[in-house]
Amino acid sequence: MLLLVLVLMSTVGEAFAQTFDGEPAAIDEQTQDRASPRAVDVGLYMSPPFVMEKDNRYEGMAIDLWESIAGRLNFKTHYQPYPTIAALLDATASGEIDVAVTNLSITEKRAHRIDFTYPWFDAGLRIMINEDAGVGFGEVVSGLRDSGFLRAYLWLAFVILVATVLSTIYYRRFDPEFPKAWPDALAEGFYSVMSVATSGRAPIRKNLFGWVGRVWAALWLVCGVAVVAYLTSTVTSVMTAISINSQIDSLADLPGKTVGVFKGGVSEAFAQEAILETRAYNDLDGAVAGLLDGDIDAIIADAPVLEYYAHTHQDEPMDVVGPIFEPDKYGFGVSRNSGLTRDLTVEVIWAEESELVERLRTQYFGDDPS
């Protein structure tokens, strides 16, 4: 019995000694480390409704999801915005930031540079157009030239010039009330010819040749009406053709058009592979300004971003057309130097299984995000 007591006392003494010299101190140190939040540098790219800035704070679906995950992992976040997707990816690849938070599409090319978490949003590309885009004067002239109507117009102009000279000589010789000075006479003759050609009505003048003169005047009026009808029909047909050809309803209508894309975005990569004429912008606001100014014919971008913009800017003539193409998925980009990929992936899966992602989707896009 005495021997048992001595053994117990010896064991307690060793444990007590290790409290000061051994592993328990290390355990306390680890516990203290777990209690201290880890500082994480997060890069952002403004892309409503995923990342937005309001009242000097960031919000949006991607921000809300990140902050929920960061809270569970005891992260202290330091946000750093970047002007383009390309700049955000470069910062993640170089280790300047730990995590890239936005609607970041997961692609093979990007996966060669950075890690990605488990995807948390299904998306794809769509097209935005300006509903009020009309047919410009230059387009009409080009259409008339390509259709061969400009040549006919030149012949009509030649006929009008000849008719002006002949009518001026005629009235100057036989009508005593007609101006005698050549500049005034030619101007009066031109007015008479154009009056018939454009309105089908001749100015009131003295009938110098009786019924023969009336017959010739009537025939001239018929010619004027025919000229007006011809001009109207050709211009209308050309404008209609241009309108039909310039209408954009789907991806098949984009060849030959100039499309706006985002620098470093999947839309830029897709447009380049499709051999489309592009103009790159830093953000959607810049692309919309270009669309309204007529610098571009359409915008290719992530479907949810375009749909959200059109929904929240109903005073602007923007419309999102065509089905989704190039479907992809969003995930958080992770620097390979951070060692956070596994932990973040586990938390994204938790957010999916707990329906947090679905609640956020409904919050920002409604019951039917499509």
pLDDT at 6: 38
pLDDT at 367: 67
* 101, 44 Cβ separation under 8 angstroms: yes
* pLDDT at residue 212 greater than cutoff 60: no
Task: Find residue 12's DSSP bridge partners.
Answer: none
Window from 75-79, 99-103, 143-147, 229-233 with minimum mean pLDDT: 143-147
Mean pLDDT rounded to a whole number for the chain: 81
DSSP 8-class letter at 127: E
Tokens of 151: 């040549």
The string of DSSP codes covering 177-221 is TS--SHHHHHHHHHHHHHHHHHHS-PPP---SSHHHHHHHHHHHH
- Give pLDDT tens digits for 230-280: 777 776 765 565 555 557 888 998 998 999 999 989 999 999 999 999 999
pLDDT at 291: 93
pLDDT at 203: 61
Q: Reduced to 3 DSSP states, what percent helix, strand and coil does the chain have, rounded to the nearest 5?
A: 55, 20, 25
* 261, 279 Cβ separation under 8 angstroms: yes
pLDDT at 164: 81
Nearest Cα neighbor of 309 from 365, 245, 226 is 365
Domains of the chain and any CATH numbers: 36-120+331-369 (3.40.190.10), 137-246 (1.10.287)
pLDDT at 348: 97
* 285, 158 Cβ separation under 8 angstroms: no
Window from 111-125, 130-144, 167-181 with minimum mean pLDDT: 130-144
Task: In whole angstroms, give the CA distance from residue 128 to residue 139.
Answer: 22
How confident is the model over 132-152, as a mean pLDDT? Answer: 66
How confident is the model over 182-205, as a mean pLDDT? Answer: 70
Task: In whole angstroms, give the CA distance from residue 31 to residue 34.
Answer: 5
- Give pLDDT tens digits for 157-176: 887 788 788 878 877 777 77
How confident is the model over 137-159, as a mean pLDDT? Answer: 70
Task: In whole angstroms, give the CA distance from residue 82 to residue 110.
Answer: 17
194 pLDDT tier (thresholds 50, 70, 90): confident
- Give pLDDT tens digits for 341-365: 999 999 999 999 999 999 999 999 8
Torsion, Cα of 98, 102, 103, 107 (10° steps): -20
Burial class, 76, CB count within 10 angstroms (exposed 0-12 / middle 13-18 / buried 19+): exposed
* pLDDT at residue 50 greater than cutoff 60: yes
User: HSE (CB half, 13 Å, CA atoms) of 352?
Assistant: 13
Nearest Cα neighbor of 89 from 74, 71, 107, 73 is 107
C-alpha of 222 from chain center: 51
C-alpha of 6 from chain center: 82
Separation in Å, CA 328 to CA 118, 126, 184, 346? 13, 12, 73, 21
Query: Which one is predicted more confidently, 226 or 333?
Result: 333
Query: Which one is predicted more confidently, 180 or 244?
Result: 180
Tokens of 237: 């047909």
108 pLDDT tier (thresholds 50, 70, 90): very high
Task: In whole angstroms, give the CA distance from residue 302 to residue 332.
Answer: 16
pTM for this prediction: 0.63
* 258, 307 Cβ separation under 8 angstroms: no
Burial class, 30, CB count within 10 angstroms (exposed 0-12 / middle 13-18 / buried 19+): exposed
pLDDT at 220: 63
225 pLDDT tier (thresholds 50, 70, 90): low
Task: In whole angstroms, give the CA distance from residue 262 to residue 253.
Answer: 20
* pLDDT at residue 29 greater than cutoff 50: no
